[in-house]
Amino acid sequence: MKEIVFLLEEPSAKAMLESLLPRMLNEGTGFRCIPFEGKQDLEKQLTRKIRAYQNQTARFIILRDLDSHPNCLQVKQRLLDLCHASGKANQCLVRIACRELETFYLADLSAVERALAMPGLASQQQSRKFRSPDALGSPSKELKTLTKGRYEKVAGSRAIGEHLVLDNERSPSFRNLLTAIRRMENELIAEEA
């Protein structure tokens, strides 16, 4: 069975992907989202989860926030090393959300506006800080402030995921995640042919 498995730092990423992926993946491609309880839990269990996964043809995408870590490449390499230790490194891709998952939402204020029923948010997309949200220091705080506290991590992520525009270019880390998903799906299709 064609399957992409997402190993995620937190439940909010699962909520977002479960509402985004059905709009993106072909009908014959299955997916599973496995959330962990933060970065440390993800790193502690990652190798074992990949190694023990029953579907031997599954592909894995690991998604983690960068948060305040100063070096994205260092974080990515540590996760790649854990994938390598599983013996299935060629079936894995690592993607880092710069700085947090909420960056994806700030890159698409129209989606936030529709999901949270807050007219007028999309008009703020042209302000300097929301044109390139990957550069923001604390996207989650920005989103809380912008939505006057209406954004809640899991429920908000689920609602916003339904509206995120798939060809949004404002967040390179969002674009890289979607590119990875498409790449994995194409590999599965080619393997099946």
137-148: pLDDT as tens digits: 899 999 999 999
Q: What is the pLDDT of residue 47?
A: 98
6-34: pLDDT as tens digits: 999 999 999 999 999 999 999 999 999 99
Q: What is the pLDDT of residue 29?
A: 96
**Hey, where are the domains in the chain?**
3-100+171-192, 102-161
* Sheet order of strands, 59-65 included: 30-35, 3-8, 59-65, 92-97
Q: Any idea how long the chain is?
A: 193
* Strand segments (E) across the chain: 3-8, 30-35, 59-65, 92-97
Q: Which structure tokens are listed for 175?
A: 């674009």
Separation of alpha carbons 25 and 181, rounded Å? 8
Q: What is the pLDDT of residue 192?
A: 82
CB proximity list for 98: less than 8 A, separation 6 or greater: 66, 72, 134, 171, 172, 173
- Cα end-to-end span (Å), the chain: 13
Q: What is the pLDDT of residue 153?
A: 96
CB proximity list for 133: less than 8 A, separation 6 or greater: 103, 106, 107, 139, 142, 170, 171
CATH class of segment(s) 3-100+171-192: alpha beta
Separation of alpha carbons 162 and 170, rounded Å? 18
- Give the number of C-alpha atoms closer than 13 A to the C-alpha of residue 100, restricted to the C-beta side: 18
pLDDT tier for residue 193 given thresholds of 50, 70 and 90 = confident
Separation of alpha carbons 148 and 143, rounded Å? 8
**Preceding peptide of 99 cis, ω within 30°:** yes
71-128: pLDDT as tens digits: 889 999 999 999 999 999 999 999 999 889 999 999 999 999 999 999 999 999 999 9
pTM confidence score? 0.95
Q: Which structure tokens are listed for 124?
A: 């703020």
